[in-house]
Amino acid sequence: MDMMINSIGLALMLMLVVEGLIYAMFPDQMKRLMVYVLTLPSQQIRNMGLGLAAFGALGVWFYLKA
């Protein structure tokens, strides 16, 4: 159980590193992206989020299966 918690924590920290680097390298593009997302309907944002979550879960499943 401790190994699983450590792995989840590591994954979250790596996600923050990647996201932080994207904001640091492309701040103006990220501002434009945020403005664009505000114009989208909530259902479309929800569907994109669910799709990305499913894709990530599938990737984890394939990784752990190998």
pLDDT digit string (tens) for the chain, length 66 residues: 788 888 889 999 999 999 999 999 999 999 999 999 999 999 999 999 999 999 999 998 898 887
pLDDT value for 40: 97
Q: Which amino acid is at 36?
A: Y
pLDDT at 66: 78
pLDDT computed for residue 2 by the predictor: 83
> Is the Cβ–Cβ distance between 23 and 30 less than 8 Å?
yes
Model pTM? 0.71
User: Are the CB atoms for 22 and 30 separated by under 8 Å?
Assistant: yes
Beta carbons of 25 and 17 less than 8 angstroms apart? no
Degrees (nearest 5) of the Cα angle 7, 11, 15?
Answer: 170
